[in-house]
């Protein structure tokens, strides 16, 4: 007996009330806790967005300063955590696989690990947000034979990440571009990785377990893993003049073009609007406008041929490339930001918890007779 209509991919299924963020897919609107993403991208900072997502309102100056300091205090690792980074940075492990294990490893030294109170989970949220950025930057420096760098308490998260990665003070445009990228990626409704985090939290498992589930889910090419693949595509195409034919050939082979399409948006992803501008500015800054121009050409062809729109991953690829960020760090950077949304969603889940446990429509056989192994042919 079929229980109900199967909704493949849970499309259109509503599983919880949430005030974290809301998407109007028809009109390309995204809001975080009531505030339009365009206002936040233009006027806010990542630190302020953390407060907004975890508290449901914008901070006063004193509250902002407190959050800034609390995050800054967590941008450091203990000896075991440094050993862990050094061990894996010198292996062939992909940085996203490293980060998934790193989040789980961070639980071992977290003094609040099994405390599921709201206050303890906020403390863990700061630790995870601060340490993930340090670990991603250190991983890259160590694998390139460089020493990791200490964060600077007076700088914000975005500027510190670029400093810890590159070892030079980022200029204003780069630092702001990274801050905007962190703001734009911080939350996005019940996306796959957020849902994974909430499913884990709903068993009343600990926050580190929930975030580990989320990082593993973000890693896939249909979700956060698409940004690296967009850049691989641009590099493979190589020249703007080749873009149209390359896309037409890929579509003829029924391949997906990475960075296009979305389960909810039926128009331009509002986050892509900002990343498109950043891509243009940053590509111009390094005198390599072809990555931006190629992206525009691909957009034109994919939209014309398939009616699809770019998602957040499309223009972030050329933006990060123009900032000199290694391709395999694009998805870890996504995770460094989305961790804030995952934590906020887990806070909501713990506050109004019910086990998340859907059913499947069973399509296998029934009533088979068990035959002992020595009698099977
Ligand atoms: N390129 C070519 N065709 C596409 C693309 C694409 N990027 N996206 C969707 N389509 C086509 C599908 O082939 C399908 O066509 P069909 O009905 O003829 O078979 C149709 O559009 C619907 O696709 P679904 O996979 O059913 O749509 P769904 O909502 O399940 O998938 C998804 C959304 C996974 C994002 C999809 O658009 C995709 O694979 N995009 C490429 C990967 C990507 O960019 N992922 C990042 C998403 S944003 C984020 O997670 C941060």
Residue 222 Cβ < 6 Å to ligand 1? yes
Alpha-carbon separation of residue 90 from 76, 139, 215 (angstroms): 20, 8, 21
Q: Model confidence over 119-142: pLDDT tens digits? A: 999 999 999 999 999 999 999 999
Average pLDDT over residues 243-249: 98
The pTM score is 0.97
Q: What is the pLDDT of residue 161?
A: 98
Q: Which residue has the higher pLDDT, 90 or 242?
A: 242
HSE-CB at 19 with a 13 A cutoff on CA atoms is 13
Q: How far apart (Å, rounded) are the C-alpha atoms in residues 132 and 154? A: 19
Check pLDDT > 80 for residue 155.
yes
Question: Which positions are catalytic?
Answer: 223, 262, 313
Residue 341 Cβ < 6 Å to ligand 1? no
Residue of the CA atom closest to atom 37 of ligand 1: 261
Q: How far apart (Å, rounded) are the C-alpha atoms in residues 116 and 205? A: 8
Structure tokens, 124? 């863990």
Q: How far apart (Å, rounded) are the C-alpha atoms in residues 185 and 359? A: 31
Check pLDDT > 70 for residue 1.
no
Average pLDDT over residues 8-36: 96
Average pLDDT over residues 334-341: 98
Average pLDDT over residues 342-366: 96
Q: Model confidence over 290-313: pLDDT tens digits? A: 999 999 999 999 999 999 999 999
Check pLDDT > 70 for residue 169.
yes
Residue of the CA atom closest to atom 6 of ligand 1: 256
- Residue whose CB lies within 8 A of the most ligand 1 atoms, among 181, 261, 330, 342, for a mutation test: 261
What proportion of the chain, given as a percentage, has pLDDT over 70?
A: 100
Q: What is the pLDDT of residue 4?
A: 79
What domains are defined for the chain?
A: 21-220+329-351 (1.10.580.10), 226-322 (1.10.230.10)
Atom of ligand 1 nearest to the CA of 314: 44
Give CB contacts under 8 A, 24+ apart, made by 38-43: 38/270, 38/273, 38/274, 40/183, 41/180, 41/183, 41/184, 41/271, 41/274
Q: How far apart (Å, rounded) are the C-alpha atoms in residues 168 and 177? A: 16
Alpha-carbon separation of residue 202 from 9, 60, 206, 207, 311 (angstroms): 20, 32, 10, 10, 29
Q: What is the pLDDT of residue 347?
A: 98
Q: Model confidence over 30-79: pLDDT tens digits? A: 999 999 999 999 999 999 999 999 999 999 999 999 999 999 999 999 99
Cβ(282)–Cβ(243) below 8 Å: no
Q: What is the pLDDT of residue 17?
A: 96
Q: Which residues pair with 190 in a beta bridge?
A: 188
Q: How sure is the predictor about 5, in pLDDT bands with cuts at 50, 70 and 90?
A: confident
Residue 306 Cβ < 6 Å to ligand 1? yes
Residue of the CA atom closest to atom 1 of ligand 1: 256
Q: What is the pLDDT of residue 3?
A: 72
Q: Whose structure tokens read 């950043």?
A: 278
Q: Model confidence over 231-240: pLDDT tens digits? A: 999 999 999 9
Q: Whose structure tokens read 């905007």?
A: 180
Check pLDDT > 70 for residue 287.
yes
Distance of CA 10 to the CA centre of its chain: 21
Residue 223 Cβ < 6 Å to ligand 1? yes
């Amino acid at each position: 007996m079929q229980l109900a209509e199967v909704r493949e991919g849970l499309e259109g299924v509503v599983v919880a009330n949430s005030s974290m963020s809301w998407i109007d897919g028809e009109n390309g609107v995204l809001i975080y806790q009531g505030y339009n993403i365009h206002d936040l991208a233009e006027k806010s900072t990542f630190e302020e967005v953390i407060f907004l997502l975890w508290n449901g309102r914008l901070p006063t100056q004193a509250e902002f300063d407190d959050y800034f300091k609390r995050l800054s205090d967590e941008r450091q690792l203990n000896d075991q955590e440094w050993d862990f980074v050094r061990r894996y940075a010198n292996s062939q492990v992909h940085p996203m696989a490293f980060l998934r294990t790193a989040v789980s490893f961070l639980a071992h030294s977290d003094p609040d690990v099994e405390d599921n109170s709201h206050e303890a989970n906020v403390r863990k949220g700061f630790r995870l947000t601060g340490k993930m950025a340090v670990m991603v930057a250190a991983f890259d420096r160590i694998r390139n034979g460089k020493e990791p760098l200490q964060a600077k308490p007076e700088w914000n998260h975005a500027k510190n990440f670029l400093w810890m990665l590159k070892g030079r003070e980022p200029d204003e445009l780069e630092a702001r571009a990274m801050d905007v990228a962190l703001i734009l990626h911080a939350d996005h409704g019940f996306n796959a990785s957020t849902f994974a985090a909430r499913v884990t939290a709903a068993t009343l498992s600990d926050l580190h377990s929930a975030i580990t589930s989320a990082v593993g889910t973000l890693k896939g090419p249909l979700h956060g893993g698409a940004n690296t693949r967009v850049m691989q595509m641009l590099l493979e195409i190589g020249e703007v003049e080749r873009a149209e034919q390359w896309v037409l050939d890929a579509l003829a082979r029924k391949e997906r073009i990475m960075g296009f399409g979305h389960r909810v948006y039926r128009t331009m992803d509002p986050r892509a609007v900002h990343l498109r501008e950043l891509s243009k500015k940053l590509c111009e800054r390094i005198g390599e406008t072809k990555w931006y121009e190629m992206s525009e050409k691909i957009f034109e062809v994919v939209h014309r041929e398939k009616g699809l729109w770019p998602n957040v991953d499309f223009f972030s690829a050329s933006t990060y490339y123009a900032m000199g960020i290694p391709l395999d760090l694009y998805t870890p950077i996504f995770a460094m930001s989305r961790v804030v949304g995952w934590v906020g969603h887990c806070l909501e889940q713990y506050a109004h918890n019910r086990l998340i446990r859907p059913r499947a429509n069973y399509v296998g056989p029934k009533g088979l007779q068990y035959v002992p192994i020595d009698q099977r042919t």
